[in-house]
A and B are shown apart, each in its own frame.
Chain A
Amino acid sequence: MSEAGNKSSADPKDAMAIPKGRVMPRPDRLSPPVWEGGRTAPPHGEFRTIGKRNRKVEGLAKVTGRAIYADDISLPRMLHAKLLRSIHAHARIIAIDASQALAIPGVHAVITGKDLPTYFGIIPWTEDEQALCEDKARYVGDAIAAVAADTEYLAEEALRRIKVEYQVLPIVHDIDTALAHPEWQVNEKASEGNLSKHVHLEFGPVDDLLGASDVVVEGDYWYEGNTHAPIEPHCCVAEFDATGLLTMWSSTQVAHYLHRDLAKVLGLPTQRVRVIQPVVGGAFGGKSEPFSLEFCAAKLSMLTGRPVKILYTREEVFYAHRGRHPMRMHYRTGITRDGKLTGTDARILIDGGAYSSFGLVTTYYSGQLLTAPYAMPAYRFDSTRVFTNKPCCGPKRGHGSVQPRFAFECQLDKMSEAIGLDPIEVRRRNFIGPDTSTVNGMRVTSNGFLDCLSAAERASAWKDKFRKLPYGRGVGVAGSMYISGTNYCIYPNEMPQSAVQLKLDRSGRATVFSGCSDIGQGVDSVLAYIVCEELGLELRDVRVLAADTDLTPVDLGSYSSRETFMVGNACLDAARHLREKIAETLAHVWGCGKGEVVLADGIACATSDPTRCVMSVKDAFQAAEARHGTLGSVGWYQSPQLGGDYRGGTIGASPAYSFTAHVAEVECDPETGIVHVKKIWVAHDCGRALSPVAVEGQMEGSAYMGFAEAILESGTYKPAAAGHPHGLHHGPNLLDYRLPTSLDTPELEALIIESVDPEGPYGAKEAGEGPLHPSVPAIANAIHDALGIRCDALPFSPPSVLRLLRASDARASWERARAGLQRDAVRA
């Protein structure tokens, strides 16, 4: 294998710096406590809160308008700041003159790249961004200067008066140009040319197995870029006070990483930076790294001595981006006549935009996350991420693996057709199973994929529809897997990935302190449900205080579908430590065995004599406080050492994997090329649904987002034309960038599958990202069933569908597909 990419830039002087080189966690790393009965069982007999259709802890605040989001915060004497953004896709900054801006009464400060020169980046090995470009702008919209003024309008007026002298440079607008013109280097931190990252990994005898296959299918795929578009734009408020403490309220999903980078870029000790995440109005990966606004607001607050707010406009959110990477993929896959996969060979080119973001991980994920739910005897991938003069791509829901999953599931459909087998049957025959290992060395524990397939097959009446519906209508299937948290922290260290502190007191209330980041998926509520289950409390008697770096222990944040699994486990342990103390106290008081003590529905009792040995949970807390002193506990989570024994073998390693299968049904108009997705059946193995309402919500929302990427959304940039330079977004607003409305979205049916993972809290795994993946290939495969065309490039818009219909004899291939399956049915 070969490796190339960015130069390292870790600073050993920083108190929270990354050690040089690769630090693998020790074998004797922290291991979680072992509980009698394991961590999957309810504390006694049956679940009382877990698995019920509960309200969310912050639900009523949200529906009554009382929830406070970043832009709802207003501080006395607060200034408003705006960013000046490059009008060129690639240009050297020769000079900036802000004197006329500063001359406006009410304009308090202007900063440029020289004020914030320190490079940062979410991945410590690829720190290649500055809060404001010092020497060069790398995409239209790259931030160059920031102004703080009394009002937003005044700040905008000041921006218009800043003069920037540019020297325009050649523009690298796509993958081919990036590779053909290494001398037009977009990002000077690249090790060579426009190479952001290259990964080549090979497992097993790929070429031999491909050569011995009965059928080999080869295909080219294009996954168009798209973006998260949370309804809340990025916003932050910074306040630097007289004691030298910087407080940052930001709509982030990674308060801890923001904390580290703020300290680094602003030159402040980490203990003088406090990051608070208010309620966040959607993120989907789009708020999982620091952005210019946070550094600029902080710096402007330090310079003016006043609080500073920055609220991105919707247009700025589109340019801040970090969304789905465009990928050009070539797959060669083999199969035997009886439907067994042989070799898989993938070549992937990734358009990264101007900076690295999570790109190192993206490049690995584009290959590493394909190796289940199907057993792959041999697999090779070669992935290259390049820099281009466009907004930087990053992690969008299903980071790095949605695109290859689309290509591979279409390949599976083509191979099934070639050997005349039902595509669900082919997926079954290649099921990798539970308690196994993938070809690239990933440990798989629980695996409910077969149940997912069966549930989607049954609910969709697949057998009555596949290859049986009239021309224009069709069904398609696809499967996938996803991680429940990445096994290792972004910066190697031996500290826990998640933690919870739990406080109980004589009032009868429990308070959970955790650094976890609720972005709408409901992790705060998950923690409350766990505490209720263990301590017998009512939901409204548990308060969750989260994501405030001064008050809560570190959690790495809301990314890689890690929260329920990791912080859920931390919370389970914290609650069980206190439960033990209470049970021990009551056993002492009642003279019974500790195991007889039950805490449920606000009551504590002993099962041996529940009429005599009974008191309220509140009284039980008081008895325990009297016996043990002030009641508090901690719980933390550190994943076991996992992954393949090769460079990159830890990327893609997860303590548990979720599995998904979708069936999509479409109705297509061959005259207009319009594809109506009628319904998607979403079957997802989430281990155990701690909150079925939340799990269904994640499944439906994921399937919706996958549908949107397949049919409607596309983030592309305009070539130069009269009146504008190269690199403007085609539609940086919520009208032209086509988010599905309530009328566009198909019917979505969530089918929860529970495999009960041995290491998840009560057996839970992720649900937030996995169920996005199969939407796109299931729809592509359904279009083939309906029209006889193969949609190998996104989005499946009317022009692209019409082009495919006109380029081939679709009707004949549609009839051939039907005849093929019927022939097989006769043979079987």
Chain B
Amino acid sequence: MDAPETVICRLTVNGDRMECAVTPGTTLLEALRYGLGLTGSKQGCDKGDCGACTVLVDGHPVLACISLVLAHEGRGIRTVEGLATKGIPHALQDAFDRTGGAQCGFCTPGVLMSACALLERNDAPTRHEIAEALSGNLCRCTGYTKIFEAVELAASEMRERA
């Protein structure tokens, strides 16, 4: 069988300009994980059902497993690896760690990115607004309670700091 044509894709991920070889069918998740070695974003279902692959594209949550990478050249991509600043965890990361928001941790990168997008547009979300923003991210461990607590804690600490 003929291999599909390989092209070079130029991406901006967490502010870094990166290049990798892809085919027209390569997903954003495949490029991040296997092309660029950014394995923080996870594959849980490979069809857009679970949200573990959620990354931010120009600030909006996107399911990387059902997005073609070539559509993302020139866009600002943010992954869980880009949340911390100079090694200091983001308020959300710190809050998830303190409240037990991450048990197995596999859904966590996607949850964090959805929560990050939420807090960037709403610095004081209600619990229902948090639940709505995270309703595309399945968690099998926590029953979501500790995740809600983590997002609320991070939001209040970010408001205090601002």
Given the complex, which residues of A lie within 8 Å of B80, measured CB to CB?
Answer: 63-65
* Contact between B139 and A231, CB atoms less than 8 A apart: yes
* Contact between B140 and A231, CB atoms less than 8 A apart: yes
A735 to B105 CA separation, bound complex (whole angstroms): 21
Proximity bits, B75-107, A CB within 8 Å = 1, else 0: 000011101100001001110111111111111
Given the complex, which residues of B lie within 8 Å of A693, measured CB to CB?
Answer: 99-100, 146
A701 to B139 CA separation, bound complex (whole angstroms): 9
**A:250-272 near B, CB below 8 Å:** none
**What is the CB-to-nearest-CB distance from B33 to chain A, in angstroms, rounded to a whole number?**
8
**What is the CB-to-nearest-CB distance from A684 to chain B, in angstroms, rounded to a whole number?**
13
**What is the CB-to-nearest-CB distance from A546 to chain B, in angstroms, rounded to a whole number?**
15
**What is the CB-to-nearest-CB distance from B132 to chain A, in angstroms, rounded to a whole number?**
7
B137 in contact (CB, < 8 A): yes
* Contact between B47 and A56, CB atoms less than 8 A apart: no
Given the complex, which residues of A lie within 8 Å of B100, measured CB to CB?
Answer: 56, 693-694, 696-697
Proximity bits, B44-81, A CB within 8 Å = 1, else 0: 11110110100000000000000000000000000111
A60 in contact (CB, < 8 A): yes
Which of B84, B104, B147 is close to A280, meaning CB atoms less than 8 Å apart? B104
Where the two chains meet, the residues of A that have a C-beta atom closer than 8 Å to any C-beta of B are 53, 55-56, 58-69, 71-72, 74, 104, 157, 228-233, 279-284, 311, 313-314, 519-522, 693-694, 696-697, 700-705, 733-735, 739, 741-743, 745, 747-748, 750
Using known A-B contacts A64-B40, A314-B45, determine if residue A104 contacts B145 with beta carbons closer than 8 Å: no
Nearest 3 Cβ contacts at the A-B interface: A65-B40, A281-B106, A520-B104
**What is the CB-to-nearest-CB distance from B154 to chain A, in angstroms, rounded to a whole number?**
11
Q: List 11 A-B contacts (CB under 8 A).
A: A63-B89, A65-B79, A68-B39, A231-B104, A281-B44, A281-B104, A282-B104, A313-B46, A742-B132, A742-B148, A748-B145
Given the complex, which residues of A lie within 8 Å of B38, measured CB to CB?
Answer: 65
Using known A-B contacts A739-B138, A748-B143, determine if residue A64 contacts B131 with beta carbons closer than 8 Å: no
**What is the CB-to-nearest-CB distance from A429 to chain B, in angstroms, rounded to a whole number?**
31
Given the complex, which residues of B lie within 8 Å of A72, measured CB to CB?
Answer: 33, 39
* Contact between B143 and A232, CB atoms less than 8 A apart: no
Proximity bits, B93-134, A CB within 8 Å = 1, else 0: 110111111111111110010000000000000000011101
A434 to B131 CA separation, bound complex (whole angstroms): 41
* Contact between B44 and A233, CB atoms less than 8 A apart: yes
* Contact between B102 and A63, CB atoms less than 8 A apart: yes
A284 to B106 CA separation, bound complex (whole angstroms): 14
Given the complex, which residues of B lie within 8 Å of A701, measured CB to CB?
Answer: 103, 140-143
Which of B84, B102, B106, B109 is close to A230, meaning CB atoms less than 8 Å apart? B106
Given the complex, which residues of A lie within 8 Å of B108, measured CB to CB?
Answer: 62-63
Which of B1, B81, B103 is close to A157, meaning CB atoms less than 8 Å apart? B1
* Contact between B45 and A64, CB atoms less than 8 A apart: no
**What is the CB-to-nearest-CB distance from B119 to chain A, in angstroms, rounded to a whole number?**
15
* Contact between B39 and A64, CB atoms less than 8 A apart: no
B45, B92, B94 pick with most chain A CB within 10 angstroms: B45
A704 to B145 CA separation, bound complex (whole angstroms): 10
Which of B41, B44, B138, B148 is close to A65, meaning CB atoms less than 8 Å apart? B41
* Contact between B104 and A739, CB atoms less than 8 A apart: no
For this complex, into which size category does the number of interface residues on chain B fall? 35 or more
Using known A-B contacts A69-B106, A232-B44, A743-B131, determine if residue A696 contacts B84 with beta carbons closer than 8 Å: no
* Contact between B142 and A734, CB atoms less than 8 A apart: no
Given the complex, which residues of B lie within 8 Å of A62, measured CB to CB?
Answer: 97, 102, 105, 108
A521 to B142 CA separation, bound complex (whole angstroms): 10
A739 to B135 CA separation, bound complex (whole angstroms): 11
> Which residue from chain B places its CB closest to the CB of A737 in the assembled complex?
B49
**What is the CB-to-nearest-CB distance from B68 to chain A, in angstroms, rounded to a whole number?**
15
**What is the CB-to-nearest-CB distance from B100 to chain A, in angstroms, rounded to a whole number?**
4
Given the complex, which residues of A lie within 8 Å of B102, measured CB to CB?
Answer: 56, 59, 62-63
Using known A-B contacts A314-B45, A696-B100, A734-B44, determine if residue A742 contacts B105 with beta carbons closer than 8 Å: no
* Contact between A743 and B132, CB atoms less than 8 A apart: yes
A55 to B105 CA separation, bound complex (whole angstroms): 14
**What is the CB-to-nearest-CB distance from B115 to chain A, in angstroms, rounded to a whole number?**
11
* Contact between A733 and B140, CB atoms less than 8 A apart: no
Using known A-B contacts A55-B97, A65-B80, A522-B103, determine if residue A741 contacts B135 with beta carbons closer than 8 Å: yes
Given the complex, which residues of A lie within 8 Å of B92, measured CB to CB?
Answer: 63
* Contact between B97 and A59, CB atoms less than 8 A apart: yes
> Which residue from chain B places its CB closest to the CB of A59 in the assembled complex?
B97
Given the complex, which residues of A lie within 8 Å of B142, measured CB to CB?
Answer: 697, 700-701, 704
**What is the CB-to-nearest-CB distance from A208 to chain B, in angstroms, rounded to a whole number?**
44
* Contact between A64 and B89, CB atoms less than 8 A apart: yes
A231 to B52 CA separation, bound complex (whole angstroms): 8
> Which residue from chain A places its CB closest to the CB of B37 in the assembled complex?
A74
> Which residue from chain B places its CB closest to the CB of A697 in the assembled complex?
B100
**B:4-24 near A, CB below 8 Å:** none
A65 to B97 CA separation, bound complex (whole angstroms): 12
* Contact between B145 and A739, CB atoms less than 8 A apart: no
Beyond known contacts A65-B38, A69-B39, A314-B47: 17 more, CB 8 A cutoff: A56-B97, A65-B39, A65-B80, A230-B140, A281-B44, A314-B44, A696-B100, A697-B100, A701-B140, A701-B141, A701-B142, A702-B143, A705-B140, A734-B50, A734-B138, A747-B145, A748-B145
> Which residue from chain A places its CB closest to the CB of B148 in the assembled complex?
A742
A68, A228, A279, A742 pick with most chain B CB within 10 angstroms: A742
**What is the CB-to-nearest-CB distance from B46 to chain A, in angstroms, rounded to a whole number?**
6
A693 to B38 CA separation, bound complex (whole angstroms): 30
A63 to B144 CA separation, bound complex (whole angstroms): 16
A280 to B148 CA separation, bound complex (whole angstroms): 23
Given the complex, which residues of A lie within 8 Å of B43, measured CB to CB?
Answer: 71, 233, 311
A62, A104, A280, A520 pick with most chain B CB within 10 angstroms: A62
A485 to B147 CA separation, bound complex (whole angstroms): 29
Given the complex, which residues of B lie within 8 Å of A702, measured CB to CB?
Answer: 143
Which of B93, B101, B104 is close to A64, meaning CB atoms less than 8 Å apart? B93
> Which residue from chain A places its CB closest to the CB of B43 in the assembled complex?
A71
> Which residue from chain B places its CB closest to the CB of A228 in the assembled complex?
B140
Given the complex, which residues of B lie within 8 Å of A313, measured CB to CB?
Answer: 46
Which of B44, B89, B94, B143 is close to A703, meaning CB atoms less than 8 Å apart? B143
> Which residue from chain B places its CB closest to the CB of A65 in the assembled complex?
B40
B40, B41, B130, B132 pick with most chain A CB within 10 angstroms: B40
A702 to B94 CA separation, bound complex (whole angstroms): 24
Which of A56, A74, A282 is close to B140, meaning CB atoms less than 8 Å apart? A282
Which of B42, B79, B136, B146 is close to A700, meaning CB atoms less than 8 Å apart? B146
**What is the CB-to-nearest-CB distance from A556 to chain B, in angstroms, rounded to a whole number?**
20
* Contact between A284 and B81, CB atoms less than 8 A apart: no
* Contact between A704 and B144, CB atoms less than 8 A apart: yes
A58, A71, A279 pick with most chain B CB within 10 angstroms: A71
* Contact between B106 and A232, CB atoms less than 8 A apart: yes
